[in-house]
Amino acid sequence: MRVLGIETSCDETAAAVYDGTVGLLSHALHSQVQMHAEYGGVVPELASRDHVRRLLPLIQTALADAHTQPEQLDGVAYTAGPGLVGALLVGGAVARSLAFAWGRPALGVHHLEGHLLAPMLEATPPEFPFLALLVSGGHTLLAVVRGLGEYEIIGSSLDDAAGEAFDKTAKLLGLPYPGGPALAALARSGRAGKFQFPRPMLDRPGLDFSFSGLKTAVVVATRDLKLDEQTRADVACEFQQAVVETLVAKCARAATQTGMKTLVIAGGVGANQALRTELGALGRRAGLQILYPRPEFCTDNAAMIAYAGYRRLAGGEHDELKIRASARWPLDTLRPPPHSS
């Protein structure tokens, strides 16, 4: 079975082709980051309009790179939520229309299911069940992944997502959007211990996260300071350390509580090098296997959507003749497809 996947939930337009026998055949992506950078964040209407401009050429590229004609496809999967509703509608309308024209089934896929399954595209895919830390711009959660569509959320952020905290703090430091990678780069020249920021929620039991207090601590600590380059780097370093320590400590706690031996890291913040270093140390300490998607599949992409769509279509699931787009769609409402393998 061969599936075209389409991703337009936020500020990346992407298309990919996944084949059940051969694996990933192609993926093409256009990031809108530069367009939104001017405004310091994603402008939803601009995002939708750019998806309209970019999507069809990207689909053509993905199909050409995969040496695939539309008649060789068995279905079209697209991100149906959660995300920016206008942006989702572009992908949904294009996917549904193409599937209809080609006489193939279409399926709306959950964006976070895509992120959770992204490590399945790698040479050493995790085996179910596994523990997953999903850290993106919109979500921070810990989940037990028992199988396709079997996700038990055991911890989540009560306020800002980890990526959002990175982005907001980066903005405070005058860094360009998207802040996460820029802050991580600045942190490299920072000196540890020059500032003291809290490690949110570590003093409390449980697996939930909270990052808005940390952001406030940065505001308070820097309010009366002259933010020269070295001071900004010191702040970035300590902020990153606080987020990383918090994430790693909760992962350790979750592994102990669940007895899971494999931890999958998904979402954009998973590209953070400091986080990867500390998680590596945790893995060695606790005998945990830690798996990541390759960096380009940590952030938004269509390969993960094509893969999730393939798994569900192969499991006998598809949509009726409608376009689905949900700004909010809780992950734990998902169910396995009818014929789960």
| Residue numbers at the binding site for Zn ion (CB under 5 A) | 136, 300
b/e string for 49-68 if b means 16 or more Cβ within 10 A? Answer: bbbbebbeebbebbbeebeb
The smaller minimum CB distance to Zn ion, of residues 26 and 79, is found at 79
DSSP string, 292-311: ---HHHHSS-SHHHHHHHHH
Site string for ligand KG4, 120-149 (x = CB under 6 A): ----------------xxx-----------
- Of 299, 302, 305, 337, the one binding ligand KG4 by CB under 6 A: 299
Kindly indicate which of the ranges 202-210, 263-271, 314-322, 327-335 contains the residues binding ligand KG4, using the contact rule CB under 6 A. 263-271
Kindly indicate which of the ranges 87-95, 176-184, 202-210, 225-233 contains the residues binding ligand KG4, using the contact rule CB under 6 A. 176-184
Q: Report how many residues bind ligand KG4 under the rule CB under 6 A.
A: 19
- Of 114, 178, 200, 337, the one binding ligand KG4 by CB under 6 A: 178
Q: How far is the CB of 111 from Zn ion (least distance, A)?
A: 6
DSSP string, 135-201: E-SS-EEEEEEEETTEEEEEEEBSSS-HHHHHHHHHHHTTPPSSHHHHHHHHHTTPPTTSS----TT
User: DSSP E strands: which ranges in 205-269?
Assistant: 262-266
Taking a C-beta distance cutoff of 8 angstroms, is the pair 73, 3 a contact? Answer: yes
- Look at residue 184 and give the partner it binds from ligand KG4, Zn ion, none, a contact being a CB closer than 5 to 8 Å depending on partner kind: ligand KG4
Which pair of tokens denotes residue 63? 């199909």
Which pair of tokens denotes residue 218? 């940065």
Kindly indicate which of the ranges 28-36, 47-55, 151-159, 172-180 contains the residues binding ligand KG4, using the contact rule CB under 6 A. 172-180
Contact between 163 and ligand KG4 per CB under 6 A = yes
Cis before 82? omega within 30: yes
The smaller minimum CB distance to ligand KG4, of residues 253 and 276, is found at 276
Contacting ligand KG4 within 66-125 (CB under 6 A): none
Contacting ligand KG4 within 3-62 (CB under 6 A): 10
CB atoms within 10 A of CB 11: 26
